[in-house]
Amino acid sequence: MEQNTKKPSHFYVVGLNYKKADAETRGKFSLSDQAKQDLMDQANVEGLSSLMAISTCNRTELYGFAEHPFQLISLLCKYSNGTVEDFQRVAYVHKSNEAVSHLFKVGTGMDSQILGDFEIISQVKTGFITAREKGLTNNYFERLVNAVIQASKRIKNETEISTGATSVSFASVQYILNHVPNISEKNILLFGTGKIGRNTCENLVKHTKNNQITLINRTKDKAQKIAGKFNLIVKDYADLQAEIQKADVLIVATGAQNPTIDKELLNLKKPLLILDLSIPKNVNDNVLEIPNVELVHLDTLSQMTDDTLEKRKQYVPQAMEIIEEIKDEFITWTQARKFAPTIHALKAKLEEIKENELKYHKKKIENFDEDQANLITSRIIQKITTHFANHLKHEETEVDESIEWIEKVFQIENLQNE
């Protein structure tokens, strides 16, 4: 009989993230959707049984079964612009239970740059769906991803780790929602198209259900491009003063070096909330000399996000307890799944020995009590198999070695499936 020389495969994660890799290096290893597809096709060609890819602005990771992690590293380098040298400098490799722990932390936002970020779990789900479409998943992988999704849901529902604003643009919207009643009916004016202003605008559209948002920019065509994306009204720069008079909320994100809004420009007939989302400040403090003007600067909103992240830290122990509970259940399942066939086969072998012995003694011993003997030997077999099962469950046991040993000693056919 030909000996199977294929080495056992192990579960690995190989990747890099914001902790050691700067934005430029992360960019090199970034995987486009097409690159992910090509990478998985190649994984199939190379005979890998399962593989999942995750690539965001903060991390790129491959999870999968391989005989050696370099199989995954070489795939990552081949389909990105990263090199093996770059990888060795900034990346990490985790194996088996460490890789499992890493995926739990990633999927629940515990490893995110913004603690408690729940966007990442959707990336994990998408990555798994793509892997399944390519035929690169197995029962182990499916059970693991489902366990991570379950942990993410429980952390979101049972802790407050995801509450509060974690970006200035979202903090701006929260501030407006908290300070302006009936916001969906109010006039909002966005002056300028700076990045934070654009993000705030997107969040406003999403959260206020307001269709009276007006955009003004010095260059009108730039404003029209952004307005088209968010379905906003665009007005000329010359209309700025008139539009400010109509506005209930003014968001300034011009990116100019000197203030673009001051009290001379304001000729107000009603209260006005001004959010200055610019560095340096684009709104002159003299606007506060006008009654009913409230001015909130970027620094205040940034402080809100810092406070939020600080508050989130107190929920980490609670979140980690949930992770440990679900992870332990998963690891217990994987161990039982691995050795259950061997325990069943061992029990069958001992039952076979028992039957032969009972037949032998039945012939030899007069008035042999077969029922009594059957009861005693069945209990002995149960105790022996329980001892073996407890040994295989123990966290320090080398399960593969022990299974091989049991199979040799009891002459049980090799039952392990990769």
The reported pLDDT for the residue numbered 232 is 82
Kind of pairing between the strands at 293-297 and 188-191: unpaired
Residue from 41, 57, 365, 409 carrying the catalytic annotation: 57
The reported pLDDT for the residue numbered 226 is 75
| Dist CA 152 CA 162 (whole Å) | 11
The reported pLDDT for the residue numbered 375 is 94
Adjacency order of strands within the sheet including 188-191: 233-234, 213-216, 188-191, 249-252, 272-276, 293-297
**What are residue 60's phi and psi, to 5 degrees?**
-135, 130
Q: Give the Cβ contact number of residue 344 at 10 Å.
A: 13
Kind of pairing between the strands at 10-17 and 92-95: antiparallel
pLDDT tens, 211-256? 778 989 887 877 787 777 777 888 999 999 999 999 999 999 887 7
The overall average pLDDT reported for the chain is 89
Structure tokens at 242: 């008139």
Q: Tokens 């105790």 identify what position? A: 383
Closest C-alpha to 156, from 315, 8, 387: 315
156-160, long-range: CB < 8 A, 24+ apart = 156/118, 158/318, 158/322, 159/315, 159/318, 159/319, 159/322, 160/311, 160/312, 160/315
Which stretches of the chain drop beneath a pLDDT of 50?
Answer: 1-5, 417-418
The reported pLDDT for the residue numbered 206 is 81
SS3 letters for the chain? CCCCCCCCCEEEEEEEECCCCCHHHHHHHCCCHHHHHHHHHHHHHCCCCCEEEEECCCEEEEEEEECCCHHHHHHHHHHCCCCHHHHHHHCEEEECHHHHHHHHHHHCCCCCCCCCCCCHHHHHHHHHHHHHHCCCCCHHHHHHHHHHHHHHHHHHHHCCCCCCCCCHHHHHHHHHHHHCCCHHHCCEEEECCCHHHHHHHHHHHHHHCCCCEEEECCCHHHHHHHHHHHCCEECCHHHHHHHHHHCCEEEECCCCCCCCECHHHCCCCCCEEEEECCCCCCECHHHHHCCCEEEEEHHHHHHHHHHHHHHHHCCHHHHHHHHHHHHHHHHHHHHHHHHHHHHHHHHHHHHHHHHHHHHHHHHHCCCCCHHHHHHHHHHHHHHHHHHHHHHHHCCCCCHHHHHHHHHHHCCCCCCCCC
Structure tokens at 253: 């994100």
201 is catalytic: no
**Under 8 Å between Cβ of 244 and 266:** yes
Query: Which residue type does 310 have?
Result: E
The reported pLDDT for the residue numbered 42 is 97
